[in-house]
Amino acid sequence: MRTMHHEIERRMALRFHEGSVDAETHVNISAIRGDDGCLWLAGDETATVERMRLAEGEHPDSYGEQRTFRLADLVPLPGPAEEEADIEGLGLNGDWLWAVGSHSLVRKKIKPKHDDTKAAKRLAKVRDEMNRHVVARLAVERDGDGPPRLVREASDGRRSAVLGARRKDSLTEALAEDPHLSPFLRIPAKDNGFDVEGVAVKGDGLFLGLRGPVLRGWAVLLEIAPSEGSEAGELTLGRFGGSRYRKHFLDLDGLGIRDLCPHGDDLLVLAGPSMDLDGPIRVHRWHEAAKSEAPEVVRSEQLPVELELPHGVGHDHAEGISVVSESDGEKLFVVYDSPAEHRLTAEHTVLGDVFDLP
């Protein structure tokens, strides 16, 4: 039987610097990952990763002291340095932070000012941005007297690197002949097209959650094992048997995957609509996912609902989850894309929610 809890224990404020507010990162948060008193986060409109520290003193229950790290300063990118990477997932493995682009196409939006002809014309326009097709492994430098930071090369010789620096080496190229996913590579994200929206580290590999496509109600989870490439700063796809990736199919009641977060050997899966719709938004638990050693079809009884999350109409879409350790145990921190007005209580500040983990 499925259990559902959705009482918010409390709110947690994220205090952004002016540059991020100008870039609208604070209202486009797409990924978070807790890191021992710090929080890594990303928005989907830039090619940057942000770091915040848990505040003490005058700003309890908040993260602040934000610092921005540009992907282009850390790894070679396939597109222009300032072109958005649409980072939709962050994963942490010791001194490596993984950042994953959506790998998706974008269809233009209709705005209220557009007349019928212009509106129809915009709906026919689809663009492909190169920086969206990256999986970046970023070196975290921890030197004791300050918060962790992202560097191109760490003092111990570890180097940041990226899969997809050249399009021919990207995940989307590896999927070009896939019987389930290849047809969706040409379809934009919000049309149930291919769209990566979560990453979780699994041993030496990664789980990648797909918001789309949802296939006859089944969500898709990919597993990849990036390894050192022939060029410095570049990664290549390692092999699972004869393939460069592994597929799992999850019964999430017709929803797609909006984020992933490891919890011990389990995987917490944030599920929400693949299309441009409001709710429902749920957190499922895949027990023992870290021990999975073959492609799996994971049925609903293996994916109990841990939390049913609130959502608004046209706003407040849960987009990022992370387990954070607190004095009274582990909690789930949830952040929202298109936050509602009640989350924007002070200038440069947006509120996320803290839930008890069942």
Cα–Cα distance between 277 and 279 in angstroms, integer? 7
CATH of 10-356, one of 1.10.8, 1.10.3470, 3.40.50, 2.120.10: 2.120.10
Residue for token pair 């070196």: 139
Q: What is the pTM of this model?
A: 0.95
Cα–Cα distance between 160 and 353 in angstroms, integer? 32
> Is 102 in contact with 212 (CB distance < 8 Å)?
no
> Is 233 in contact with 160 (CB distance < 8 Å)?
yes
Question: Can you give the three-state secondary structure of 261-277, one letter per residue?
Answer: EEECCEEEEEEECCCCC
Domain ranges of the chain: 10-356
Cα–Cα distance between 175 and 123 in angstroms, integer? 26
Q: What pLDDT does residue 5 have?
A: 54
pLDDT tens digit sequence for 87-129: 999 999 999 999 999 999 999 889 999 999 999 999 999 999 9
Q: What pLDDT does residue 61 have?
A: 82
Q: CA separation (Å) from 34 to 93, 173, 316, 342?
A: 11, 31, 21, 24
Amino acid at position 180, single letter:
H
> Is 187 in contact with 106 (CB distance < 8 Å)?
no
Q: What is the mean pLDDT of each run of 10 residues along the chain (358 residues)?
A: 66 92 90 94 92 79 93 95 93 96 93 92 93 96 90 96 89 95 95 96 95 97 94 90 92 97 97 87 96 92 94 88 88 92 90 91
Q: What pLDDT does residue 88 have?
A: 95
DSSP letters spanning 24-61? TGGG-EEEEEEETTEEEEEETTSSEEEEEEE--TTS-S
DSSP letters spanning 127-172? E--GGGG-EEEEEEE--SSS--EEESB-TTS-B-EEETSSGGGSHH
Cα–Cα distance between 151 and 300 in angstroms, integer? 41
CA triplet 287, 288, 294: central angle to 5 degrees?
Answer: 115
Q: What pLDDT does residue 1 have?
A: 36
